[in-house]
């Protein structure tokens, strides 16, 4: 089978398309033919070992897990003898989490992983681009206590996490303001934002005390800069996991009113199932900018690393072909 590997941390040039052997599923595992995957912010952060923390998780000098790819859509081709939840032929989608590995034609995963059947009206190659961004948005918005009627500002509304956050906040009955650059204003309106702030033309601090939740998916906002935008008991949530935000979060118990939340998404089957229900009821869809082939992996990484993806990019793995 074909896999995209990296033996050393560095630029997109470290990525190589090679032939490897198809893994065998253990007792409780599934062998999955990967139809499509995605290239996410996590993929380029891991490839570059940026931040340095990556080296403590995945090898100080060289990467221990050599195949990237954290989400996929695929078909089960073989099951271990004690598997009960799935059968060969089932289409599934989900997250490989920190194990990565989805940039390969086949992967094995435990049946207890964060995966779900891609059944009914949602079966589609774009499902590969939903688990990470979808679960991250839902996880953080829940941390921020999202509820009907909230006024929510989403910074980075045209990116992967941001485009799901706009749709999820709307599905919960919030009034949503999206922040993006000029070229994405139309897109952010189309996915449901009630108002759009074009950060190229307008400053965020023109809107004081307006928001119950400010969700920063870009990582360029601090609690200090967001404070004037929040209502008296507003929440600031951020996918950027840095020291300043950690300190602001630790002060939550001592501070009246505002709360700050950051950290790492705790992925679960429950979160994925909630995402699946939103997909089935057509309250959520993936924004797909482009599909790359495995041979185009370097270009895909360069684009993801630009920080200006429109929604998501798909990596076509075995779309259209069948079986081992």
Ligand X SMILES: NC(=O)c1ccc[n+]([C@@H]2O[C@H](COP(=O)([O-])OP(=O)(O)OC[C@H]3O[C@@H](n4cnc5c(N)ncnc54)[C@H](OP(=O)(O)O)[C@@H]3O)[C@@H](O)[C@H]2O)c1
Minimum CB distance to ligand X, residue 76 (Å): 26
Residue with Cβ nearer ligand X (106 or 139): 139
CB-closest chain residue to ligand X = 159
Between 132 and 300, CB nearer to ligand X: 132
Helix, coil or strand: residue 295: helix
Element (DSSP H or E) covering residue 80: none
- Which lies closer to ligand X via its Cβ, residue 31 or residue 313? 313
Cis status, amide bond into 51, omega within 30 of 0: yes
DSSP state of 285: -
Of 83 and 152, which has the nearer Cβ to ligand X?
152
Q: Which of 275, 245, 277 has the alpha carbon at shortest distance from 263?
A: 245
Which residues would be at the binding site for ligand X (CB under 6 A)? Answer: 40-42, 45, 132-133, 136, 155-156, 158-162, 179-181, 184, 199, 217-220, 239, 241, 264-265, 307-309
User: Least distance in Å: CB of 197 to ligand X?
Assistant: 9
Question: Smallest distance, Å, CB 191 to ligand X?
Answer: 12
**Cβ of residue 265: shortest distance to ligand X, in angstroms?**
4
Tell me the C-alpha distance between 90 and 131, whole Å: 18
User: Minimal distance in Å, beta carbon 161 to ligand X?
Assistant: 4
Q: Which is nearer to ligand X, 25 or 94 (CB)?
A: 94
What's the CA gap between 142 and 151, in Å, rounded? 14
Strand order in the sheet with 151-155: 195-198, 175-180, 151-155, 211-216, 230-238, 259-261
């Amino acid at each position: 089978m074909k896999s995209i590997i990296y033996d050393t941390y560095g630029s997109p040039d470290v990525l190589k398309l090679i032939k490897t052997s198809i893994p065998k599923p253990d007792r409780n595992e599934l062998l999955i033919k990967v139809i499509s995957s995605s290239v996410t912010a996590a993929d380029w952060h891991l490839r570059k070992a940026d931040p340095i923390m990556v080296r403590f998780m995945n090898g100080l000098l060289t990467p221990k897990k050599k195949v990237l790819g954290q989400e996929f859509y695929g078909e089960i081709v073989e099951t271990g003898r004690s598997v009960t939840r799935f059968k060969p032929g089932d289409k599934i989608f989900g997250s490989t989490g920190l194990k990565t590995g989805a940039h390969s034609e086949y992967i094995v995963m435990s049946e207890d992983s964060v995966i779900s059947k891609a059944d009914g009206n949602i079966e589609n190659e774009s499902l590969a681009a939903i688990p990470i961004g979808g679960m991250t948005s839902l996880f953080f918005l829940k941390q921020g206590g999202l509820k009907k009627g909230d006024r929510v500002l989403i910074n980075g509304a045209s990116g992967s996490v941001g485009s799901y956050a706009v749709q999820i906040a709307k599905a919960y009955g919030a009034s949503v303001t999206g922040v993006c650059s000029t070229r994405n204003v139309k897109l952010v309106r189309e996915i449901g934002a009630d108002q759009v702030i074009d950060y190229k033309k307008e400053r965020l601090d023109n809107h004081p005390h307006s928001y119950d939740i400010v969700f920063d998916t870009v990582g360029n906002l601090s609690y200090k800069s967001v404070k004037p935008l929040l209502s008296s008991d507003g929440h600031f949530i951020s996918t950027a996991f840095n020291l300043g935000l950690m300190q602001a979060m630790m002060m939550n118990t001592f501070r009246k009113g505002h709360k700050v939340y950051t950290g790492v998404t705790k992925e679960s089957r429950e979160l994925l199932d909630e995402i699946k229900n939103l997909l089935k009821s057509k309250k959520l869809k993936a924004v797909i900018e482009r599909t790359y082939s495995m041979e185009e992996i370097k270009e895909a990484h360069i684009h993801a690393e630009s920080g200006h993806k429109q929604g998501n990019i798909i990596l076509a793995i075995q779309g259209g072909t069948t079986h081992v």
